[in-house]
Amino acid sequence: MLRWVRQQLGFDPPHQSDTRTIYIANRFPQHGHYVPQKFADNRIISSKYTVWNFVPKNLFEQFRRVANFYFLIIFLVQLMIDTPTSPITSGLPLFFVITVTAIKQGYEDWLRHKADNEVNGAPVYVVRSGGLVKTRSKNIRVGDIVRVAKDETFPVDLVLLSSDRVDGSCHVTTASLDGETNLKTHVAVPETAVLQSVANLDKLVAVIECQQPEADLYRFVGRITVSQQAEEIVRPLGPESLLLRGARLKNTKEIFGVAVYTGMETKMALNYKSKSQKRSAVEKSMNSFLIIYLIILLFEAILSTILKYAWQAEEKWDEPWYNEKTEHERNSSKILRFISDFLAFLVLYNFIIPISLYVTVEMQKFLGSFFIGWDLDLYHEETNQRAQVNTSDLNEELGQVEYVFTDKTGTLTENEMQFRECSINGIKYQEVNGKLTPEGFSEDSPDGNRHGLVKEEELFLKAVCLCHTVQINADQTDGADGPWHANGITSPLEYYASSPDEKALVEAASRVGVVFTGISGDSMEVKSLGKPERYKLLHVLEFDPNRRRMSVIVESPSGEKLLFTKGAESSILPRSKSGEIDKTRIHVDEFALKGLRTLCVAYRRFTPEEYQEVGKRLQEARTALQQREERLADVFNFIERDLELLGATGVEDKLQEKVQETIEALRLAGIKVWVLTGDKHETAVSVSLSCGHFHRTMNILELVQHKSDSTCAEQLRQLAKRIKEDHVIQHGLVVDGTSLSLALREHEKLFMEVCKNCSAVLCCRMAPLQKAKVVRLLKTSPEKPITLAIGDGANDVSMIQEAHVGIGIMGKEGRQAVRNSDYAIARFKFLSKLLFVHGHFYYIRIATLVQYFFYKNVCFITPQFLYQFFCLFSQQTLYDSVYLTLYNICFTSLPVLIYSLFEQHVHPHVLQSKPVLYRDISKNAHLGFKPFLYWTVLGFFHAFVFFYGSYLLMGEDTSLLGNGQILKPNRQMMFGNWTFGTLVFTVMVITVTMKMALETHFWTWINHFVTWGSIVFYFIFSLFYGGIIWPFLHTQDMYFVFVQLLSSGSAWFAIILIVVACLFIDVVKKVLYRHLQPTSTEKAQMYSNRVALSDEFIALQPLSRARNQLSKISVCKVTEETCI
């Protein structure tokens, strides 16, 4: 009873079995003992908040940030004890930061709610009570029979029951799920395929048992039990029976399916991956600086508290006549008084921690990320794709990359396959004018112009045409003659395939005379030299990355049972017992050396007894609900043996445009490139050489084909020794998957030592998880380098997520890599612009932003600390509370934000043409200890000049007071602490704004507006604030102070003098360093300035004179390039 109550309250959820039982049309058993399983409803929820939990949940998340929590504590301290500043000074900036962040996150979540409501409210048709009922998507329940029409999207995960076709098949495209645009065929079981009307489906009595929801799009294990005339028929259900939510129905009028997974349990929803939070190196540096400034704050507070009590040790200062203590203060505990004073000083100096830094950084990252998407240089016109930013948190990390891990196929290459060569029965062939020609023959030679195909060639081509997952556009397969017209001329068939290799091979076979014309029911149709043949498709043994092969079992027109299989040579050749195995192996290696992708093709004939055994084992494995995949793997291995080798194919995958130039630019930038691919050794090396990853002059070392730890370790030691002894400047390393596993198991340190001494590393025969392991190995090494992984396929997702920065290529292998990446680009060549320009700019901008924020807050709060030496550490504030509150929010916030969005310290073309400039910012150079120390010391120096300059010029010399009047009876009234504090504050606002102007190299009208506008706004605000008696303020300390201060010409002189004194040393330092010890970046700045001036000058010239000027500048650029 207690357990039931706990389950109802949600504290003790009921045990969930490994499978779910679904009664189609929700026809549950009539006996009273059955308790229906509870399933999720069909609402999709991508939002994070609700109306009820937004405030508490958002506040909880925001106060998990150290700075926000710190200011909350300070605010509470101000409320609890008597502090020198108003709680508003901490509360208002905190409220501003929290509110801005909450509004941003709330707006983003509102957009998600809006999108969810649109999806959940979409109209759908469900079979209920013998008819079609229109309802909303969110009302679909598990077990409902749903009707979907052509070009509609599936609203839930459905098991296909029937379609408008007799065989119960339908075509779908899963482009929105995995990006694959090819049509996939799904089939219903025969017992339900015949139920094509609503009335018949309403009478269906069936039960589906299947696995619980999981995220794998390509895995589904289940079985359906159909009750027909007191007989129960059990059929297996696999991925070919499951229609996924988000996929679209194509080339089929309508289908009916039963909902098995709904809402957040659909495979699409389970693939809403909440990626692990990646933190940039800048953010880590920012947190380190924050801790250092917290230490400075605590030191100043403790020192002030100690000095206060040291000062008050003298009786005359302990209780002066103008500030007598109350009886309660005299009797209070000294420890409590010490703690109270310490907290008061903590509150007084707390602004040294910049609370608005976080919100400014967040805005900079969010707004700055739009520039990547807007960059026309990253737009690919052929595919109409622009760069995409999936996370803005890592913009500056693009400027810190030290290692690039790249996939080969589809990333360095086009993933557009073209058939080049094949080997049949030990003879090499090439395609010449639509004919297979043996190597060494041509059309002019006596045997070159052959008619027809020999038996082995025809069998090989039939194997290629039957063993695949290629489909044909449905419009072309209609009619009796298919694609053949009455006059015998063929119309080109449009093939669809999930694998570009398969499509290239089937198209090549059709060109040389064996044409795959489509699938009709359970038959595959082939035309060999115009003669149609029909093969009954009995079984498909699907491809998987472990077996690295796929097979089909067919029945030939003569009734013979045949197995055709194709796959990697490492998985086919060991299983072959006959055929020209040795010759084919040599040909495969030759193809690979040319950079071709290779596949081997083999076949097997079954006796009736063998086939009966095969069918029985397959049926048992496919209907198993437990360990189905392991059982199927065992059966597949049993079937795919004793093969007769037919031959091998060689398909070319072209390199993408400018791959070689991009890899060379990365190398010049100090970035090491590793290629991680699943291709065989020879193919991978050939492509590495052709794309410039390996140079011909490079000393290529190999760690391949090792089977034991001892041999692997010995080879590693020899390689390490060879690298030390060899005087070749550059080394390249080739390692395969098996050797890598051995190296990582026991000899990780030695392996890393070898790799780091190589300028290029190629890992071949890599499994997806091995790619991630290699990335993690470098990422967690003692040097902690910043890594970037780039790929285009689902097999690259693990390494993309593991690397510091993951980039997806919008290629032909789907969109899984793009969905799981931080950034997405259309071509590999765009990587150079992304890193050398955008990455460089983002890093410089945010590095300056962070340092500047700490600098201006040191300038802000240090005079407050110095002022305590002049007021007996009485915790008297130097600035008015309104100035305390608005300093970071209004007076100094916009110039640095605009700088961090638009700054271009070097011309973009110069950055891209000189990759070596990337080295200047590597290893977090601008946020290291030296730059941090420089900005901090500069902040303290400026603060001392503000305070003591104002004190010396205004505090002692009365000639600088008033309107030329030296003595005034109300001198103390006119020049009190508020006037002094206002003078210091005025000098400070002007100086820190001018400092930002000095750091700016790229001026736009927006920079001018916010820089000079911030200073003007401060003066207007101060005049307005001090010129009116505000009724809601308790005190009017600032009344007429600013007006009185500015009425003195001497005060203006003091302001100008102090500002110049502060900035003069900084300017001199910049000029001297630029001329005496210029960095390569500073040289590039001078060069880019000349280019920019020349460009402006040319724009004003007539066309003929402009051409002459261009030729002169091109000569100037060449000479400048050599000197830089």
Beta bridge partners of 565: 551, 602
Q: For residue 814, which amino acid is it?
A: G
Distance CA 81, CA 87 (A): 10
Q: First CA to last CA across the chain, in angstroms?
A: 83
The pair of three-digit structure tokens given for residue 825, joined into one six-digit string: 């680009």
Check residue 784 and report its DSSP letter: -
Are 572 and 552 spatial neighbours (Cβ–Cβ below 8 Å)?
Answer: no
* Distance between CA atoms of residues 536 and 561, nearest Å: 9
What residues contact 999, with CB distance under 8 A and at least 6 apart?
848, 852, 899
C-alpha span between 283 and 849 (Å, rounded) = 12
63 Cβ neighbours under 8 A, 6+ residues apart: 69, 72
Q: Are 410 and 655 in contact (CB under 8 A)?
A: no
């930013």: which residue's tokens?
A: 389
Laid out side by side, the sheet with 123-128 consists of 131-136, 123-128, 145-149, 254-261, 157-163, 242-243
DSSP H helical ranges for 523-639: 569-572, 581-593, 608-622, 628-639
How far is CA 284 from each of CA 391, 778, 901, 928, 1103, rounded to the nearest angstrom? 17, 19, 21, 11, 53
- List all residues 6 or more positions away from 529 whose beta carbon is below 8 Å from its beta carbon: 452, 453, 513, 514
CA–CA gap between residue 543 and residue 764 (Å, rounded): 20
- Specify whether the CB–CB gap between 651 and 501 falls below 8 A: yes
Q: Give how far Cα 1070 sits from Cα of 199, 428, 929, Å.
A: 86, 69, 19
CB-neighbour burial class of residue 600 (10 A; exposed 0-12, middle 13-18, buried 19+):
buried
Task: Kindly list the distances between the CA atom of residue 427 and the CA atoms of 80, 99, 430, in Å, as whole numbers in the listed order.
Answer: 92, 75, 10
Q: In angstroms, rounded to a whole number, what is the distance separating the alpha carbons of residues 988 and 891?
A: 10
Q: If you search the block for the tokens 């399916």, which residue do you land on? A: 257
| Spatial separation of the C-alpha atoms in residues 419 and 1041, rounded to whole Å | 85
Please identify which residue in the block is written with the tokens 């092969």: 549
β-strand partners of 648 = 423, 600
| Parallel/antiparallel/unpaired status of strands 561-567 and 596-606 | antiparallel
Q: Do 528 and 547 contact (CB within 8 A), yes or no?
A: no
Q: What backbone phi and psi angles, to 5 degrees, belong to 489? A: -90, 135
Paired sense of beta strands 672-676 and 699-703, if any: unpaired
What the block records as the tokens of 1115 is 């000569």
Name the token pair of 512. 């040389």
Neighbour count for residue 1072 (Cβ, 10 Å): 10
HEC string for 928-969: CHHHHHHHHHHHHHHHHHHHHHHHHHHHHCHHHCCCCCCCCC
CA angle 89/90/95 to nearest 5° reads: 110
407 is annotated as an active-site residue = yes
3-class SS of residue 788? strand
Rg (CA), the chain: 38
Set 144, 157, 341, 407: catalytic member? 407
User: Hunting for tokens 């079609």 — which residue is that?
Assistant: 132
Type of residue numbered 828 = F
Reported in sequence order, the residue ranges of 687-773 that DSSP labels E, i.e. its strands, are 699-703, 731-736, 760-764
Q: Which residues are annotated as catalytic?
A: 407
